[in-house]
Structure 1
Amino acid sequence: MLRLRSRIVSHILSSPSAFRVSPPHRLLSAAAAPISPTQRFAVEEYLVDTCGLTRAQAVKASTKLSHLKSPANPDAVLAFLAGLGLPRSAVAAAVAKDPRLLCAGVDRTLASNVVGLTTLGLSSSDVALFVSIAGEPFRFKSIVPKLQYYLPLFGSSGNFFRALKKSSHLLTANRDRVVEPNAAFLRECGLGACDIAKLCMVVPRILTAKPELLRRMVARAEALGVPRGSGMFRHALQAVSFKSEDKIAAKASFLKKIFRWSDAEVSHAVCKAPIALRKSNSSLQERSEFFLSEVGLEPAYIAHRPALLSYSMEGRLRPRYYVIKFLKAKGLLDQYRDYYNIVMLSDKVFMERFICPHKKAAPCLAKDYATACKGEVPTNFRFT
């Protein structure tokens, strides 16, 4: 066992592609004073002065470290974390999230896990990021096999870390009884690897939900009129995830009210753009007032083009409407342009068609458009 530990630490210290751990006195921002046999180790002060925790964080964390008698092991852990490239703020966050990290064995556990992570293809920056967000599971030997499963499932470490930031339960959920059966069921529903990764980056709890709950969510997605295997099914499942039938019905009723839709129009809109169910009431209300009152769109027009609800008000919907209205007012747009088709254009094409051709006649248009995309209304776009 000692030989194994020695080889692990030696690999980290000597491999050019691994991590070098500098001596503790160079890595700790504040060295702890030696503790005499009769002096008690002040855990709370150590957490504040050496680890960088706030006083409130230290008080809470110290209850889990009352057994510590000396700073020897915490010093070694902090030196190891700093050697991975974690800045003081990230180390403080990691310790605040999991105070018992300071009690972990460096060569026996932490170094072994880091070597395992690097063999999975994680870079030094990947490992540093993982340590900062993983919390308690980083101290467990099971962490490497779990990432060995998750990384191919999510397609990249970046995708997985994005999901992990939203749900650390990914690292503690039972893989055999929960995660793998859920992933298999999603495949049965017609979702490919890319769709599963995209879905779980947004709603990672889908993977760790009880399998019977996931089946109910799939049934609710189908109830929207979106069949399994269709290109919209991932969006439908995302829209109804962890929502009760009552909440879904309440949102549909709200859409019907503010957009003045019939039941059939609500069903059509939700089926074509399930994202409408995920929008807050205030966001939907703002879009309703803008489309119906300001732009002058008909309720049926919106219902049959529900993708309009998915775009940013500040980044796309308002600025593009202002540009078209400005061009029409200046006589620079000689024919009617359909609002939906304008919204659907890529940024590059919109600039090429509606901004660049008018550099001489409207030299401030590009600047005004950029200002509007930041949520401000330039003077030229204030119509009376």
Structure 2
Amino acid sequence: MIRLRSCILTHLLHSPPASHISSLRRLLSTTVPEPPVPANPGFAVEDYLVATCGLTRPQALKASVKISGLKSPSKPDAVLAFLAGLGLSSADVAALVATDPRLLCASMDTLTSNVAGLAGMSMSPSQIARLVMLGRAIFRCKPVVSRLHYYLPLFGSPENLLHVLKQNSYLLSSNIDKVVQPNVAFLRECGLDACDIAKLCISLPRLLSTKPERVRAMAACTESVGVRRGSGMFRKAMQAVAFRSEEKVAAKVAYLKNTFRWSDAEVAIAVFRSPMVLTRSDDRLLRTSEFLISEVGLEPAYIAPRSVMVCLSLEGRLKPRYYVMKFLKEHGLLNSGRSYLSVVLATEKVFVEKFIYPHKEAAPHLAEDYDAACRGEVPTNFRFT
């Protein structure tokens, strides 16, 4: 019977999506049910967890406490066959059982119903298996499919949904009516469309499961740094200040102002143009300001509206590309009108094609020296011959 259920599940998961639900229910309902299995006086939960589920002895000892009432292998055998039918490996099953031992006592009707519902939402077998791993205890609860019917359109695709759940599986147990929906409605009031909300929540998965009053406080903090609701940068600015106190955000703004020698107006412009500067560490900001102002020679007023460069890697982009520019200019190989900003904003592929490859003959070591500079080695000793 266990093998039959597993075979049925495997077959259905690889059938056309439209037939999943009806076929699953029909086949499972027409299968002759197993007779009740009496308690097995020789059955030891801890030994079963080790021998059959693949848990270590310490894991089994801890897990066995939660399912001490289990007296027979009948139900856990059925669950294990079900998980195998989903395509989960032995290691995956062991991880699931160690985290949620009560899964072995789950209702097969609930499990198969959830799989049928997910298949009906056009989720692939591998996506369903990943969801089971992510959902863990939540998957054995009946509301999971109805919740996914809400989340799937919100995040746009099963892959986006799985990405969010990987970071915050608590979304599956959050109160949609009292927490999630009010947060989504508020974000829409802030001028974010469905795409913006999805992007924000993919980067901040726990935002939707946070108390609505705290989400409103985050929006107020976003406005306090000069980014208004409805502006194109509101999403990124809210991402930058989320889950940080107003005091810490204010302190970061003050540090930016002092470190880059900006006026109040200039620091406001810098934050508006690139809100993620608020997330950079003080040490990184200090080293970046010293490099851009003291070594590159940029004016603070020039940097403020171009604050995106402050968020770029100092060692991996700002310094190496500056040294390439400096080298090429010193040897008459670079047009003096080329701005440093355009150079550091170029993709790696474009940068190499425009500033490294054309000079292979004149400067045969340039590519090698650039790579070394990106690793933090001999950044100023570029060789011409």
- TM-score norm. by structure 1 comes to 0.84
Identify which of 66, 76, 79 aligns with 2:78: 76
Q: Deviations over 1:142-163 (max 9, x none)?
A: 1111111111111111111111
Q: Deviations over 1:280-323 (max 9, x none)?
A: 33433342343334434333332221111222334432332232
Could you tell me which amino acid in structure 1 is paired with residue 154 of structure 2?
A: L
Q: Aligned residue for 1:65?
A: 67
CA–CA distance in 2 between the matches of 1:95 and 1:280? Answer: 40
Distance change (3 Å), C-alpha of 1:284 and 1:73: farther
Q: Aligned residue for 1:319?
A: 320
Kept after mapping to 2: 8 A contact 1:8/1:115 = no
Q: Aligned residue for 1:262?
A: 263
Q: Aligned residue for 1:27?
A: none
Kept after mapping to 2: 8 A contact 1:8/1:112 = no
CA–CA distance in 2 between the matches of 1:78 and 1:50? Answer: 9
CA–CA distance in 1 between the matches of 2:332 and 2:55? Answer: 62
Distance change (3 Å), C-alpha of 1:77 and 1:353: same
1:358-373 → structure 2 map (5 Å cutoff): 358-370=359-371, 372-373=373-374
Give, in angstroms, the shift of residue 80 of structure 1. Answer: 1.8
Give, in angstroms, the shift of residue 246 of structure 1. Answer: 0.8
Could you tell me which amino acid in structure 1 is paired with residue 44 of structure 2?
A: F
Distance change (3 Å), C-alpha of 1:245 and 1:199: same
CA–CA distance in 2 between the matches of 1:371 and 1:87? Answer: 43
Kept after mapping to 2: 8 A contact 1:12/1:115 = no
Distance change (3 Å), C-alpha of 1:38 and 1:211: closer
CA–CA distance in 1 between the matches of 2:336 and 2:270? Answer: 29
Does residue 1:204 correspond to 2:210, yes or no?
A: no
CA–CA distance in 1 between the matches of 2:129 and 2:303? Answer: 47
CA–CA distance in 2 between the matches of 1:369 and 1:146? Answer: 51
Distance change (3 Å), C-alpha of 1:86 and 1:283: farther
Kept after mapping to 2: 8 A contact 1:153/1:197 = yes
Identify which of 5, 9, 33 aligns with 1:12: 9
Give, in angstroms, the shift of residue 127 of structure 1. Answer: 0.7
Unaligned ranges ≥5, structure 2: 21-37
CA–CA distance in 2 between the matches of 1:312 and 1:221? Answer: 25
Give, in angstroms, the shift of residue 122 of structure 1. Answer: 0.6
Question: Secondary structure, in 3 states, of the residue corresponding to 2:66?
Answer: coil
Q: Aligned residue for 1:243?
A: 244
Q: Aligned residue for 1:338?
A: 339
Identify which of 92, 108, 115 aligns with 1:90: 92
Could you tell me which amino acid in structure 1 is paired with residue 192 of structure 2?
A: L
Q: Deviations over 1:60-94 (max 9, x none)?
A: 33321222223332232222222212222322222
Distance change (3 Å), C-alpha of 1:278 and 1:380: closer
Distance change (3 Å), C-alpha of 1:335 and 1:126: same
Could you tell me which amino acid in structure 1 is paired with residue 100 of structure 2?
A: D
Q: Aligned residue for 2:31?
A: none
- The percent identity for this pair of structures is 55
Q: Aligned residue for 1:183?
A: 184
Give, in angstroms, the shift of residue 264 of structure 1. Answer: 2.9
Give, in angstroms, the shift of residue 130 of structure 1. Answer: 0.9
Q: Aligned residue for 2:128?
A: 127
Q: Aligned residue for 1:23?
A: none
Could you tell me which amino acid in structure 2 is paired with residue 86 of structure 1?
A: L
CA–CA distance in 1 between the matches of 2:49 and 2:331? Answer: 65
CA–CA distance in 1 between the matches of 2:280 and 2:136? Answer: 31
CA–CA distance in 2 between the matches of 1:218 and 1:160? Answer: 24
CA–CA distance in 1 between the matches of 2:208 and 2:284? Answer: 28
1:13-52 → structure 2 map (5 Å cutoff): 13-15=10-12, 16-17=14-15, 37-43=40-46, 45-52=47-54
Q: Aligned residue for 2:33?
A: none
Question: Secondary structure, in 3 states, of the residue corresponding to 1:208?
Answer: coil
Kept after mapping to 1: 8 A contact 2:43/2:73 = no
Could you tell me which amino acid in structure 1 is paired with residue 209 of structure 2?
A: T
CA–CA distance in 2 between the matches of 1:87 and 1:294? Answer: 55
Give me the CA root mean square deviation. Answer: 2.8
CA–CA distance in 1 between the matches of 2:161 and 2:369? Answer: 39
Give, in angstroms, the shift of residue 335 of structure 1. Answer: 1.6
